[in-house]
A = this chain, B = another copy of it.
Amino acid sequence: MTADQLFKQIREKQSFLCIGLDTDYNKIPKILLDSEYPIFEFNRQIIDATADYSIAFKPNLAFYEVLGAAGWISLEMTVNYIHERYPEIFIIADAKRGDIGNTSKMYAQAFFEKMNFDAITVSPYMGSDSVTPFLEYQNKWVILLALTSNAGADDFQQVVDQNSNTRLFERVLQKSERWGNEHNMMYVIGATRADMLTLVREHAPNHFLLIPGVGAQGGSLADVAKYGFNSKCGLIVNSSRAILYADCTNDFAKVAREKAREIQEEMSQLLNQYKIV
């Protein structure tokens, strides 16, 4: 998918919502456990219920790997289902991979060829050759971890480099601009840091940012929009648990749809307020 296609979808749906398919076997309604692939069945109902309001889906690999081969099959079925039914939707593998060059090449094959993801999250720790193999695919995306929203984020990401006087996450933004560009690379930026978004936008004014921390993890959508928007939106904001598990009865999909619609309405207001759509 191209950046233009993504922006087209944002304008049409007046939304920049990504739904994180962190589908936990222990949290889905018991009635689904009778189906052959309960995780896929849950995902399918969530996808159908929320596709009107979301522009991206983002399965997190851990939730599938924990079920072994059966989990992997549910993941493949989920990706195929989205592509067939909702070809306009952007699909992100939240996998946080990254290894030496020839191994990252294998991961790229796994996620972009064997499965048909549009994007994959990648960890920058091992540097250039751990990232660049993912960038060799036309219309596929790397979403590089820069500044995350979790408790341990400060342990290393805020280290200030003696030579350049920049923080590690800024160095990730700077270095990676030589590997890719705004048409094949995005960044993960924790939304609990709206104050950091201005700094991020200085380094990466035109890139899309994937914001994982709105909702359950805190972070205000209005702040993220204020400091993070660019002229083509430039934001994909994720919500997982707040939508997936808004209701744990057989009405889960209906309630998830309501929850997604609420977020989309707030997003629509912001997109209009900043004259982006």
Greatest chain B CB density within 10 A among A96, A123, A152, A171 is at A152
Q: Which residues of B contact A66 (CB under 8 A)?
A: 106-107, 109-110, 114
Q: Which of A174-194 contact B (CB under 8 A)?
A: 175
Asked whether, in the complex, the Cβ of B126 is within 8 Å of the Cβ of A152, the reply is yes
Q: Which of A223-259 contact B (CB under 8 A)?
A: none
**Is A145 in the interface zone, CB < 8 Å from B?**
yes
Mask, A93-120, CB within 8 Å of B = 1, is 0101111110110110111001100000
**Roughly how many angstroms separate A162 CA and B124 CA in the complex, as a whole number?**
20
**Roughly how many angstroms separate A60 CA and B104 CA in the complex, as a whole number?**
11
The number of times this chain is found in the oligomer is 2
**Roughly how many angstroms separate A101 CA and B96 CA in the complex, as a whole number?**
14
Asked whether, in the complex, the Cβ of B60 is within 8 Å of the Cβ of A99, the reply is yes
Among B60, B73, B130, B162, the residue within 8 A (CB) of A103 is: B60
**Roughly how many angstroms separate A24 CA and B103 CA in the complex, as a whole number?**
10
**Is A137 in the interface zone, CB < 8 Å from B?**
no
Q: Which residues of B contact A152 (CB under 8 A)?
A: 126-131
**Is A84 in the interface zone, CB < 8 Å from B?**
no
Interface residues of A (CB under 8 A from B): 22, 24, 60, 62-63, 65-70, 72-73, 76, 94, 96-101, 103-104, 106-107, 109-111, 114-115, 123-131, 145, 148-157, 159-163, 165, 168, 171-172, 175
12 A-B residue pairs with CB within 8 Å: A65-B106, A66-B106, A69-B69, A69-B73, A123-B123, A124-B155, A125-B156, A126-B145, A127-B150, A131-B152, A159-B168, A160-B163
